[in-house]
Amino acid sequence: MKNLLALLALFCALTAFLKPPKPTLYLIGDSTVRNTNAPQAGWGSQLASYFDTTKISINNSAMAGRSTRTFISEGRWEKVHNALKPGDFLIMQFGHNEGSAPDTTKAGRRGVLKGTGEETKDLVWPDGRQETVHTYGWYLRKFIKEAKAKGATPLVASMIPRNEWKEGKVIRATNDYGKWAAEVAKQEGVTFIDLNSITADKYDKLGPDEVKKFFPGDHTHTNEAGAHLNAESVVDGIKATKNLPLNKFLAKKRS
């Protein structure tokens, strides 16, 4: 009995010195989050400089060309989901690749149904595989609910704005994907980062000529300077939610 008590005391003493595992912030999304096609860069590759990485790890699992639908169908979400642990965080940002009509063609394989409802469309691929396509909101809810079930804290970000202007103002996603992302975040009680509006406000102040410098190849993908601006907008959105635990991992000064 004395030996057992001694072992128990030793175990308690050892565990008292063990540090809890460092949390990880996972990022999922498309090429605007992770882009290896230099000089283009995604904001996810710049985000670590705004965090104290001695206290939290950043895992950028976004992949170019993916939509909410294909991020799941290709097994990418499964890998992130399996890695999530209690205390982790997840930021999701999709919307750039969802717009095509959902079907089994090359153009339509990324498309989703519009909105946040429970509508579905059943497809049969040439090899006989069946797929049920859902709405954009349905896919976001899946990420949110499954992350919560693992003890992680999910956050929803609206897509970054494109370099598209109308009457001197950046065109915003407030009538479609940005709106739907906000609706789902509210429904599920999670933090919404209005990345689209935060960055669009900055673009409006800079003006078309200056903003054009962020886009070396097209109207969607930024260079490193633009990626830093968007990463800063993500941080602005995090700071706007005062009681969000992720705030305590922000660096006091950008590294």
Identify whether 31 is a catalytic site residue.
yes
Active site residue 221: yes
* Long-range pairs, 47-51, Cβ under 8 A, ≥24: 47/231, 47/234, 47/235, 48/255, 49/228, 49/231, 49/251, 49/254, 49/255, 50/231, 50/232, 50/234, 50/235, 50/250, 50/251, 50/254, 51/25, 51/249, 51/250, 51/251
Rg (CA), the chain: 21
Given the residues 81, 96, 134, 221, select the one marked as catalytic.
Answer: 221
Catalytic member of 31, 45, 67, 158: 31
Distance CA 209, CA 205 (A): 11
Report, as residue numbers or ranges, the catalytic residues.
Answer: 31, 218, 221
